[in-house]
A = this chain, B = another copy of it.
Amino acid sequence: MGKHGKAKRGIPPKSDFNAWYPAIVEISDLVDKRYPIKGMDVWKPYGWSTMRLIDSLTRKEMEESGHQEYNFPLLVPEDLLEKENQLVSRLKAARELGVDPSELRMDEEDSGFKKEVYWVTKGGENELDIPMFLRPTSETPMYTMFSLWVRSHADLPLKTFQIVNTFRYETKQTRSFIRVREIHFFEAHTVHKDEQGATRQIEQDAEIVQRLMKSLCMPVIVSKRPVWDTFPGAWYTTAVDAVMPNGRTLQIATYHHYRDQWAQAFDLNYEDAEGNTQNCHQTTFGMSERLLGAVVGMHGDDSGLILPPSVSPYQIILMPVAAHVNEQVIPKINDLAKELRGSGFRVHVDDRDIRPGGKHYHWEIRGAPIRLELGPRDLDANKCVLSLRTGGKIEVSLENLSQTINQYLDDISETLLNRSLNNNSELVQKFPGISSKDSGWELNSPIVDGIVYELAFDGNDADAEVLEKITGLALLGDCVEPYPESIPCAITGKLTTRKQHLARMY
């Protein structure tokens, strides 16, 4: 830890992010990593409660946008996978050969998917006739059922989602929330009459993500992924990346326009108003516990977590001080708790018989937005002391306390967003450019570890490969916010508004 300075209370400094992150998720009581399977952590109540609050935000968005919540089985029989494999291998081969998928023969099977899942092969002491895998995502089980449910245009659009556990046989190093083997997962799947219907859904997904990110005080980069990084079977993939303090980007949401590619594989069609059979068009939208990982990584500091008020299990911690001096302190604290709960806040009264310093430490590490102290003198003066987790200690009146608290919670959210924007403006820098030399391409100045590079890019796949190879970074794809005016492409020099990013991705 030398270069990063001394650990505070056993927490590595956040400047040493790769040490800070794995430490803080346990110290702040979100998870316990000692469960004897790597990448499968135990969710502790504080972590699970935070995750469930994130889920609540998602569910609210789903309800308001007319999605309905389903719950599909976890296990998928291997033979259901055939259709998916054929689809994926066809599209992959088509992409490699640069031809239309429909021109291909279906004689090659891509087993890539099979390498990434857990297999259930035995029930009791019996070998199963057909092995089953634990869903990594639910296209296959869902579309098998969708093709039974969708008959006519009146059945469309079909807008579904579920929040479930999914699994991935992960061989890379695992990290809590960020790369795990049992994944707390949200997936929305929709079916539409035509491409336009699916496109409108993708637009709605984009708006939902924007609102969710705002609730989480999280600036993000939204990009249309390059074709080689598109989800199997998708026409195009839009991905949402958060920049972590170590300069690595974390993909926290994706939405995919499938056109009718999956529908063809799963015989998902409908009878239109004229009695003709039409293929459906589909979209998916996925997020996961990575949202929590991004919240932890983006907002925390040397002293612990800082949770956005929208998802903090307790927004206000009430602490009686010197309650033995005045027996009115505890009843007043309980009254305030009741008042604040009545106003819809999530409140916790910490009346443990320990020193105030211990309580502060406890809730600082856990990132509770506001601590409220009330002692005998405060009681006399009809006031209390608020400590904001983002900094600052303020005396406020007990009159209109809910309104005051509301204002400070808004301030905290704003502070978190502004801090993140500031951090991003340091972490995301202009690409230094490359030049063509006799010996080939050369960087104009060296790539710095921990930086995301922004650049104008309008080249082809070969140009992209040059960029990725010389930088050792990955292109995130076309940013949905292009440059307001054309500037020269970093490779071709052609004027373009296409903004892209080069980053090391998680």
Q: Are A68 and B45 in contact (CB under 8 A)?
A: yes
Q: How far is the CB of A7 from chain B (nearest CB, A)?
A: 23
A117 close to chain B: CB less than 8 A: yes
CA–CA, A119 and B125, complex, Å: 9
Closest to A117 in B: B124
CA–CA, A184 and B123, complex, Å: 19
A121: which of B116, B119, B165 is its contact (CB, 8 Å)?
B119
CA–CA, A49 and B134, complex, Å: 24
Q: How far is the CB of A32 from chain B (nearest CB, A)?
A: 6
A434 close to chain B: CB less than 8 A: no
The stretch of A140-148, A265-273, A482-490 that contacts the partner chain: A140-148
A228 close to chain B: CB less than 8 A: no
Q: How far is the CB of A109 from chain B (nearest CB, A)?
A: 14
Q: How far is the CB of A114 from chain B (nearest CB, A)?
A: 7
Q: Would you give the 0/1 interface string for A425-445, flagging 1 where the beta carbon is closer than 8 Å to chain B?
A: 000000000000000000000
A70: which of B48, B131, B169, B182 is its contact (CB, 8 Å)?
B48
**Chain B residues within an 8 Å CB radius of A134:** 120
CA–CA, A148 and B52, complex, Å: 25
Closest to A77 in B: B36
Closest to A52 in B: B69
Q: Are B42 and A74 in contact (CB under 8 A)?
A: no
CA–CA, A182 and B114, complex, Å: 22
Q: Are A48 and B35 in contact (CB under 8 A)?
A: no
* Residues A109-155 near B (CB distance < 8 A): 114-125, 131-132, 134, 141, 144-145, 148-149
Q: Which of A's residues lie within 8 Å of B, judged by CB?
A: 32, 34-37, 40-45, 48-49, 52, 68-75, 77, 80, 114-125, 131-132, 134, 141, 144-145, 148-149, 165, 167, 169, 171, 182, 184
- Extra contacts, 10 of them, besides A36-B144, A42-B71, A120-B121 (Cβ < 8 A), are A36-B77, A42-B72, A43-B71, A45-B70, A48-B71, A118-B120, A118-B123, A120-B134, A121-B121, A123-B169
